[in-house]
Amino acid sequence: MRVLSFRAKFSGPKNSGNSVPQFFIKETDMADGKAVISGEDCHHLINVRRVKTGDLLRVRSESGKGYIARVSEIGRTEIFLTILEETGSNQSPVDISLYMALIKGGNFEFVLQKAVEVGVNRIIPVMSSRTVPDPAKKLDDKHARWSKIISGAAKQCFRSNMPRIEYPMSFSDAIKKDNSMMKLIAHPEAVTELRDYLSSSEKPESVSLLVGPEGGFSKTEISSASEKGWIPVNFGTTHLRAETAAIILPSLVIYQWS
């Protein structure tokens, strides 16, 4: 696709002082310097953001390329854009998967949002021996809600890609099926300190992080994970809450290799 060389300073819609979040567009909806937004994003822009013809938007394709575009036409179910310039990528330096034990409602959703902001690419809910929520109840509804939270966070923080949220899996499946180059499990009583382990390791292409529920992992689970190649690490002088650990751990990994 040919991108016009005209450069525009982005400051959000000209009729609003607020910054407009990024919107993801399918590759099939872009061609010859033009693009189209439809579906829920179109509804949000028209009825909530009140965009007007001439406003500027940030958009990103499925391949991760970002653009600044001008609204050229507003239809009832579609918004048509003219691409003005291509922007850079903010892709994380490592591909991070977060295996997060299910914790009580609002706390788990908080983890989803913040993990996306930090730079996690894939989130897998895990059922461990001390998991409290029952994932079987209205699972499809929960997954749809989780996906919506992740989508909103990715747009708001201008991610280069849309992170994935998987369906819950058992602890035993999680430790067996992962194939990342580096696999770390958070354990406050671990002998190995995260700082020492990362500083002595070469940068991997992929890292998986496993964080437990409010009561932590059992000794049996830690032992089973270790047998499957997961490295127990501690990364603080205090015992962190599950939702705190789930944000700090990927942050430290990204910082190490940023």
Is 139 among the domain residues? yes
Q: How many domains does the chain have?
A: 2
Residue bearing the bigger pLDDT, 104 or 218: 218
Whether residues 59 and 149 fall in one domain: no
From first CA to last CA, the distance across the chain in angstroms is 31
Whether residues 235 and 113 fall in one domain: yes
Which residue, 87, 118, 137, sits at the end of a domain?
A: 87
CATH number of the domain that 211 lies in?
Answer: 3.40.1280.10
DSSP 84-117: EEEE-----SSEEEEEEE---HHHHHHHHHHHHH
Is 10 among the domain residues? no
Is 15 among the domain residues? no
Residue type, 54: G
pLDDT, tens digit, 9 for 90 and up, residues 200-258: 999 999 999 999 998 899 999 999 999 999 999 998 777 889 999 999 999 999 999 98
Predicted TM-score of the model (pTM): 0.79
Whether residues 36 and 158 fall in one domain: no
**Pick from 9-13, 47-51, 72-76: least confident:** 9-13
pLDDT, tens digit, 9 for 90 and up, residues 168-183: 999 999 999 999 999 9
Reduced to 3 states (helix: H, G, I; strand: E, B; else coil), residue 234 is strand
Q: Which 8-state DSSP code applies to residue 167?
A: P
Which distant-in-sequence residues (6+ apart) come within 8 Å of 63 by Cβ? 27
φ, ψ for residue 241, nearest 5 deg: -65, 155
Question: Domain span at residue 64?
Answer: 23-87
Which distant-in-sequence residues (6+ apart) come within 8 Å of 140 by Cβ? none
The pLDDT of residue 11 is 38
Tell me what the pLDDT averaged over the chain comes to. 87
Is 4 among the domain residues? no
Q: Is the pLDDT of residue 70 over 50?
A: yes
